[in-house]
Amino acid sequence: MISPEEIRTRARKLWMSGAPLRAWLGAEDLFPYSVPFRKPSAQEWLGRFAELRSAVERLEAGSKASQGAGYAVVFKEVAHQKLGRLRVPESIVFENAEDVAACAGESAALARFAGVAQALRRREPRLGDWLAEQPLRAIEVQGDLPRLLAVVEHFQAHPRPMRYARELGIPGVDSKFIEENRALLGAWLDRLLPAEAVDATVRGLVDGGFERRFGLRCDEPLIRFRWLDRAFMLDDRIADATVPLSEFAAYAPRCERVFVTENRINFLTLPGCAGSLAIFGGGYAIDRLGSLPWLREKLLYYWGDIDTHGFAILSRLRRRWAHTRSLLMDRDTLLGHKELWGEEPQDRRCLHDLDALDGEESALYDDLRFDRLGERVRLEQERIGYAQVLEAVARIRRQECSGVNRDSIC
């Protein structure tokens, strides 16, 4: 026989599914909801009569008929061969969301939900679909509802304001509140704003995703670069600078070639080279280079570690800029530094096919990912002798200047 405690556990599980709240809204057909339970057999009634009769009394005492809310028990009289007529539970049902909430101890939460539903119907009925999809989340934000609605109403009145959140001046709303509720506000704004007010190419919250999607200014990613040709220094004094990505994209430097390196020290020690610029590609910077349209007009070189991760980054960069060439990432360089090999961390390895490598790069990458040269072989770029770096950069200049017609600085 099922107990009142077991029914309350079932009620809490049902509540957490959100189905009773959706049914309360009329968005789901749930009630009456039958609680499944195993009915005692005639033999069990005979052998455990006193115990089962007490269980039925407890069940009835905890029911809606006795408590005013909760589960309802439908009884049926049956004839037992030896015990005579018995009054036994035939079904247990929840008749509505209020009964589930009462049994689950969530009546106060249901009242808060009703308040949210009423407010949204009055101020923003287009959020009805979200309410049905996220009823438990609606209860969580009930206390913040006035401020949340104030934010979306501001964006409706001032789409793509191109200000920092702190500058919006919404009464009672600070920038931290907007930042803490970006996921929820984003879901609402996607439903409420016209298509032209939403940058649909931006997804997620990473790198100011919310701000860029809905037209707020944000703390932009920074790019560090260094002139290898001192004739191009900023204001004739600054060779090394870190600037916001949008400013670097608009900068469009008058250089012939660009070197991208993942290692900070190698970035700082790349030798002087006429008409050349170096970009520090550490961290996420490599993925931001796709935002620099002027790179298509430059000779572009990437120098990373000779390991599977390094080739994965090269492939990723080349998928955006197909003319990217690798620097010191060849088999001769690897085999020439065998005594300096290390082991690539397992959690950084790339083992899938890379579609943007050339034939020689792809062959070396396969040897590395399949451990044909040794287990997890890796040559970090800073282990390569500096004299070899000097020669590699000089060789690039010689090859370019002796190559096809190009208005290059030689």
Quick check: 146 pLDDT over 90?
Answer: yes
Say if residues 189 and 152 touch (Cβ distance below 8 Å).
Answer: yes
d(C-alpha 154, C-alpha 169), whole Å: 9
Task: Compute the mean pLDDT over every residue in the chain, rounded to the nearest whole number.
Answer: 91
CA of 315: how far to CAs of 80, 95, 187, 292, in Å? 79, 60, 34, 17
- Give the model confidence (pLDDT) of 177-188 as tens digits: 999 999 999 999
**210 and 327 together in one domain:** no
pLDDT band at 55 (very low <50, low <70, confident <90, very high): confident
pLDDT score at 409 = 53
Which pLDDT score is estimated for 410? 56
Within a domain: residue 408? no
How many domains does one find in the chain?
3
Residue 410 inside a domain? The answer is no
Q: Which two tokens stand for residue 322?
A: 């197909």
74 and 38 in a common domain: yes
63 and 159 housed in the same domain: no
One domain, residues 285 and 394: yes
Mean pLDDT value across residues 183-202: 94
Is residue 91 located within the same domain as residue 112? no
Domain limits for position 52: 4-106
Q: Tokens 């077991």 correspond to what residue?
A: 6
What residues have CB less than 8 Å from 172, skipping those under 6 apart? Answer: 146, 147, 150
Q: Is residue 93 part of a domain?
A: yes
Query: Tokens 């500096």 sit at which residue?
Result: 386
Q: Is the pLDDT of residue 400 over 70?
A: yes
Q: Which two tokens stand for residue 195?
A: 């298509």
Q: What is the pTM for the complete model shown?
A: 0.65
pLDDT of residue 365: 97
Point out which residues pair with 93 in neighbouring strands. 34, 72
List, in order, residues 6 or more apart from 288 with CB less than 8 Å away: 221, 223, 245
Helices of type H across 62-106: 64-67, 97-104
Does position 235 have pLDDT exceeding 90, yes or no? no
Contact 34, 99 (CB under 8 A): no
CA dihedral 101, 103, 104, 105 (to 10 degrees): 80
Q: Which of 88, 106, 124 is the last residue of a domain?
A: 106
* Segment 197-207 mean pLDDT: 87
**What share of residues in the chain are helix, strand, coil (percent, to 5)?**
50, 15, 35
| 407 located within any domain | no
Query: Does some domain include residue 302?
Result: yes
Choose among 303, 322, 323: nearest CA to 313.
303
Q: Which is it for strands 257-261 and 325-326: parallel, antiparallel or unpaired? A: unpaired
Is 305 domain-assigned?
yes
Tell me, yes or no, whether 64 lies in a domain: yes
pLDDT at position 282 is 79
- Tell me which residue of 219, 212, 167, 218 sits closest to 186, measured CA to CA: 212
| Segment 238-259, tens digit of pLDDT | 999 999 988 999 998 989 999 9
